[in-house]
Copies of this chain bind each other. A is one copy, B any other.
Amino acid sequence: MAKEKKVEAITDMEVDFGQWFTDVVTKAELIDYSGVKGMYILRPYGYAIWENIQAVLDKRFKELGHENVSMPMLIPESLLQKEKDHVEGFAPECAWVTMGGSEELTERLCVRPTSETLFCDHWSHVVHSWRDLPMKYNQWCSVMRWEKTTRPFLRGREFLWQEGHTLHATAEEAVAETKQMLEVYAECCENWLAMPVIRGRKTEKEKFAGAEDTYTVECMMHDRKALQSGTSHYFGDGFAKAYGIAFSDKENKLQTPHETSWGLSTRIIGGIIMTHGDNNGLVLPPRIAPIQVVVVPVAAHKPGVMEKANEVYELLKKAGVRVKLDDSDNSLGWKCAQWEMKGVPLRLELGPRDIENGQCVCVRRDNFEKVPTALKELETAVPALLDAVQQGLFDKAKKNMDENTHVAQTLEEAKAIQEEKGGFIKTMWCGSLECEQRMKDEAGMSSRCRPYRQEHLSDRCAVCGGEAKEMVIWGVAY
């Protein structure tokens, strides 16, 4: 007989958070490394998480009137260069195709780092009249950014994402779209991924290359660092002008339309891991878990056990639960450790004595609570337990964020808190790039956002003491 597999232990997150993360993504079989640095293989279990997130977002995008399209993956250099700020932001990290077959290309083509330029070029062909607006498009694809330091999910040279691109007759409509799509991301994070977010706007320094305004949802990880989890950009008419998009309005006057784009990537899976995971591995929110419940028979060789386990499996499947029956010949200990590593929200253990008592034991992945459950109530009890795990994960993450968000009145105070405790630090800010840069240089924090929910902490900028314009949240970010 072949040797039994063992689940190898992972590094404790308190010992080395980076190594813990790497251990989880590989041991939970989310990722494999490819032969190219920074390009990762999304294995079936990792991809299934992405498919579940896709399903949530795609449905919502369509409900809001967006249509999916497919753009080419290559952008001619001359097309990329039409919008000055945009090309400055992206050209340094483009990968370039210079050969087709055995021939050198006359113009090099970049593998899309993002597709604003392609959408604009297309719209310049097809948009003529106010009747053609709005254009509300989305694309599911991968993009490429030639990063120097790379990490699975968090910073890849290639990553999967969706990029929405819309074009509107008026600035008001485009701004409303930008905000609406940020809200879609916020709801996806909070309601599906159990990740509480802070909604806000980026500063001038931190906004997307070429945007007038960038809106963001920021999450806090276990190590108290920030993860930018979804962004939505308002471009004004800058791109439209650069790419020659114009439309005749109802009075037959030529007008320039206003544009938005918004994106969420597989980076969010890194966020799920670092928000919910623990020293036993991955912990997945039930609503997007590929497997919500694993049925583990105890003493499976005893008469009646496998039959009952199968019955429970079929029952839950019919009730719409994503369930798996572990009928492998691995030991009970190995099975438990494996499904914990993979973050399955609920483990349902079922042995001869349980069956006698007409019950099973449901073990919650979020807090290891063992819940004896009557077999005849499974159809309602399991969905309720899944909801409880979902809520439990959200509450725990919210507590982490709340407890690790601090107020500082001066740069020195902000620096001291960051060094001692980490987390998000709220201060007032005068709005100057200079003060923002000082916070970066002296306290090591970037501005995460100017949150929607403003608080009046004082009248003075924490950095320069000048008149405060608004509150900013600072943090160390991934």
Contact = CB atoms under 8 A, between A and B. Distances in A.
Interface stretch (A101-109, A279-287, A315-323): A101-109
A39 B48 CA distance: 29
Interface stretch (A65-73, A352-360, A382-390): A65-73
Given A41-B70, A137-B44, A144-B73, A36 B109 contact: yes
Contacts of A41: 69-72, 118, 122
Contacts of A97: 95-98, 111
Contacts of A67: 44, 47-48
A74 interface: yes
A146 B248 CA distance: 39
Nearest to A70: B42
A129 B42 contact: no
A72 B40 contact: yes
A259 interface: no
A15 to B, nearest CB: 26
Contacts of A157: 100
Question: Dominant SS at the A interface?
Answer: mixed
A96 B95 contact: no
A413 interface: no
Contacts of A42: 69-70
Given A74-B39, A101-B93, A44 B32 contact: no
Interface in A212-259: 248, 250, 252
Interface string A131-153: 10000010001101010000000
Contacts of A83: none
Contact of A35 (B76, B94, B99): B76
A7 to B, nearest CB: 15
Nearest to A39: B72
Number of chain A interface residues as a range = 35 or more
Given A70-B160, A73-B73, A121 B34 contact: yes
Contacts of A101: 92-95, 146
A149 to B, nearest CB: 13
Nearest to A44: B67
A101 to B, nearest CB: 5
Contacts of A93: 101
B95 A125 contact: no
B111 A2 contact: no
Contacts of A121: 34-35
Contacts of A23: none
Given A2-B130, A252-B2, A34 B71 contact: yes
Counting chain B CB atoms within 10 Å of each CB, the highest count among A51, A74, A129 belongs to: A74
Interface in A20-49: 32-36, 39-44, 47-48
A468 B118 CA distance: 55
Contacts of A250: 1-2
Nearest to A148: B101
Q: Which of A1, A67, A70, A94 counts the most B-chain CB atoms under 10 A from its CB?
A: A70
Interface of A: 1-2, 5, 32-36, 39-44, 47-48, 50-51, 67-76, 79, 92-102, 108-109, 111, 118, 121-122, 125-126, 129-131, 137, 141-142, 144, 146, 157-158, 160, 248, 250, 252
